[in-house]
């Protein structure tokens, strides 16, 4: 049972009642992330996420954690390119406590100077840790390959220089501009008393007002043809190859999900069976979708011996071309539909997963993607829709790439035919 309503201040609320569980998951979604930033304040969304846990007028940082954990619950948050989410999971009897704690963090955080300075050090260490992870570095580099200087390519963590520049005034001004009810969704899923939920939400979020409104807007960046490399003294060469995807909210995403599953999204996929099982070129190889407002990309990742980088890319290119030419059979189409339906439904067996799905859908699309609707869209995938995605996405082939490792850059560029440039 769903209830989607809006408070007078513009806050959208999506409630899904699941009466056979004894838990409830609550998430406050704000349509704000690194894509809403600029070069001077890059990383501020993630910094604010951290600061909301550092103490309020009513609770210390320790009390914020303890009040949820003392009743056996969990509290956490994350920041992405287009959204920030603060969430809890507790027994259903502690729903009001979750609403109380999250609203207190949002409205009453103190932003004391000593906490801001301390958190600068914490996040700079997080940036350093990110630099030690080839996969994280690869993801940031590939964003630049795909979108160039558009804000969607900015790193979520920001840079050490931008982090050092933040102070209380800068943080509070940004919150007043972007952390507004019109940009936000409260998602609740679990064993909820629907008769009182609106009253509870109004009690904790009804007074939320905004005076300086910056409703999120997005560019429509081109998918660029660029290839970048970052040198790291590591054993493997980490590779990310980009194929054109589809934007968030486009129903073509279901067809692309299906084709991705066949091509590289599972251990029975073409890539895994060819590159790993048959040729033994790698341990890990897979593909996945990244869909955002007005843009999207299909990523192909692998990690290989640097001496086998060019050969691996050649094989992936060949398999991609054969995939477009050969297509998929009716039998494979049927099996793939069942696979992605099963993956989707199994993923919704967690209350937190359902809360995340509902919150993200209402935040960006202003609607609920009900499971039965999603299943129907998957069932409707046809050879015509598959041919359309082959033509609009896969047929262009690999458009961009990123590499992290220790290689002879000139040799790799020559062998792959890619104009690979080093990022310092």
State the CATH number of the domain containing residue 158: 3.30.830.10
Helix, strand, coil shares of the chain, percent, nearest 5, are 50, 20, 30
Q: What are phi and psi of 422, to 5 degrees?
A: -85, 135
Q: Which two tokens stand for residue 351?
A: 């209350």
The span from the CA of 137 to the CA of 239, in Å, is: 11
Q: How far is residue 376's CA from residue 364's CA, in Å, rounded to a whole number?
A: 21
Expressed as residue numbers, the domain containing 385 is 227-422
Q: pLDDT at position 348, please?
A: 85
- In this structure, are 150 and 246 located in the same domain? no
Predicted TM-score of the model (pTM):
0.95
Give the strand order in the sheet containing 420-422: 282-292, 295-304, 237-244, 400-405, 227-231, 420-422
Half-sphere exposure of 17 toward its Cβ, with a 13 Å CA cutoff?
11
Pair (413, 280) in one structural domain: yes
211 within a domain of the structure (yes/no): no
Instruction: Note whether residue 112 is domain-resident.
Output: yes
Contact 30, 178 (CB under 8 A): yes
- Which residues are registered as beta bridge partners of 301? 240, 286
Q: Which pLDDT does position 211 carry in this prediction?
A: 79
Residues 200 and 273 in one domain: no
Regarding whether 371 and 282 lie in a shared domain, the answer is yes
27 and 105 in a single domain? The answer is yes
Flag whether 216 is in a domain.
no
Which run of H or of E encompasses 110?
A: none
> Do 181 and 233 share a domain, yes or no?
no
Clarify whether 49 is annotated catalytic: yes
Interacting residues of 146 by C-beta distance below 8 A, sequence separation 6+? 153, 223, 224, 226, 242, 297, 399, 400
In-domain check, residue 222: no
Q: What is the pLDDT of residue 273?
A: 97
Same domain, 328 and 412: yes
171/247 same-domain check:
no
Domain boundary among 143, 173, 205: 205
Report phi then psi at 327, rounded to 5. Answer: 65, -155
Token pair of 49 as six digits: 């996420």
CA–CA–CA angle 347, 348, 353 (5° rounding): 90
Angle at 85 between CA 43 and CA 192, to 5 degrees: 170
Which portions of the chain are predicted below pLDDT 70?
Answer: none
pLDDT at 378: 95
Decide if 324 is inside a domain: yes
Same domain, 187 and 272: no
Instruction: Report the pLDDT value the prediction gives residue 202, as an integer from 0 to 100.
Output: 98
Tokens 């409707």 — which residue? 380
The residue to which tokens 């129903």 are assigned = 251
pLDDT for 75: 98
Structurally, the chain folds into a number of domains equal to 2
Residue 156 lies in a domain: yes
Q: Are residues 255 and 286 in the same domain?
A: yes
Structural domain contains residue 346: yes
167, 248: one domain: no
Cα 228 from Cα 230, distance rounded (Å): 7
pLDDT for 255: 97
DSSP class of residue 388?
Answer: H
Q: pLDDT value at position 383?
A: 94
Distance of alpha carbon 109 from alpha carbon 105, whole angstroms: 5
3-state secondary structure (DSSP) of residue 294: coil
Are β-strands 295-304 and 282-292 bridged in parallel, bridged antiparallel, or unpaired?
antiparallel
Whether the CA torsion 199, 205, 208, 213 is positive or negative: it is negative
Q: Is the dihedral of CA 85, 86, 90, 92 positive or negative?
A: negative
Q: For 352, which DSSP code?
A: H
Helix 197-205 to helix 95-108 angle, to the nearest 10 degrees?
A: 20
Per-residue pLDDT, 1: 87
Helix ranges (DSSP H) in 348-401: 351-365, 371-379, 383-392
The residues pairing with 16 across neighbouring beta strands, listed in sequence order, are 2, 189
Q: Which residue in 16, 31, 49, 82 is the catalytic one? A: 49
What is the pLDDT at residue 212? 72
232 in the same domain as 194 = no
d(CA 290, CA 269): 19
Whether residue 214 lies inside any domain: the answer is no
The per-residue pLDDT for 393 is 97
Phi-psi region at 99: left, alpha or beta (left = phi > 0; alpha = psi -120 to 50):
alpha
Closest to 86 (Cα-Cα) out of 54, 52, 43: 52
CA quadruple 145, 254, 15, 22: dihedral positive or negative? negative
């Amino acid at each position: 049972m769903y209830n989607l309503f809006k408070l007078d201040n513009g806050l959208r609320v999506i409630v899904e009642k699941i009466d056979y569980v004894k838990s409830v998951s609550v998430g406050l979604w704000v349509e704000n992330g690194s894509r809403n930033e600029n070069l001077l304040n890059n990383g501020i969304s993630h910094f604010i996420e951290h600061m909301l846990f550092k103490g309020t007028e009513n609770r210390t940082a320790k009390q914020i954690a303890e009040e949820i954990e003392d009743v056996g619950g969990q509290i956490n948050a994350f920041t992405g390119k287009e959204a920030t989410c603060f969430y809890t999971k507790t027994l259903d009897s502690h729903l009001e406590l979750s609403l109380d704690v999250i609203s207190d963090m949002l409205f009453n955080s103190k932003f004391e100077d000593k906490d801001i300075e301390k958190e600068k050090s914490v996040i700079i260490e997080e940036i350093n840790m990110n630099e030690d992870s080839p996969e994280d570095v690869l993801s940031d580099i590939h964003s630049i390959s795909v979108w160039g200087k558009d804000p969607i390519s900015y790193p979520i963590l920001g840079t050490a220089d931008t982090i050092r520049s933040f102070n209380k005034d800068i943080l509070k001004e940004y919150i007043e501009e972007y952390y507004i009810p019109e940009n936000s969704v409260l998602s609740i899923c679990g064993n909820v008393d629907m008769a009182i939920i609106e009253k509870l939400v109004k009690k904790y979020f009804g007074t939320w007002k905004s005076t300086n409104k910056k409703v999120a807007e997005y560019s429509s960046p081109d998918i660029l043809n660029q290839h970048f490399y970052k040198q790291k003294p590591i054993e493997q060469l980490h590779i990310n190859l980009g194929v054109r995807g589809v934007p968030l909210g486009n129903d073509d995403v279901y067809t692309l999900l299906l084709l991705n599953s066949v091509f590289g999204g599972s251990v029975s996929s073409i890539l895994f069976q060819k590159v790993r099982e048959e040729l033994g070129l790698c341990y890990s190889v897979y593909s996945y979708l990244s869909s955002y407002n007005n843009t999207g990309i299909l990523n192909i990742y692998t990690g290989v011996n640097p001496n086998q980088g060019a050969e691996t890319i050649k094989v992936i290119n060949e398999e991609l071309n054969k995939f477009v030419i050969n297509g998929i059979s009716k039998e494979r189409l049927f099996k793939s539909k069942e696979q992605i339906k099963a993956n989707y439904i199994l993923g919704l067996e967690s209350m937190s997963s359902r809360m995340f799905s509902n919150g993200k859908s209402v935040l960006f699309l202003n609607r609920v993607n009900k499971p039965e609707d999603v299943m129907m869209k998957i069932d409707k995938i046809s050879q015509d829709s598959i041919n359309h995605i082959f033509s609009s996405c896969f047929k262009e082939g690999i458009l961009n790439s990123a590499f992290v490792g220790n290689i002879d850059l000139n040799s790799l560029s020559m062998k792959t035919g890619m104009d690979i440039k080093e990022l310092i």
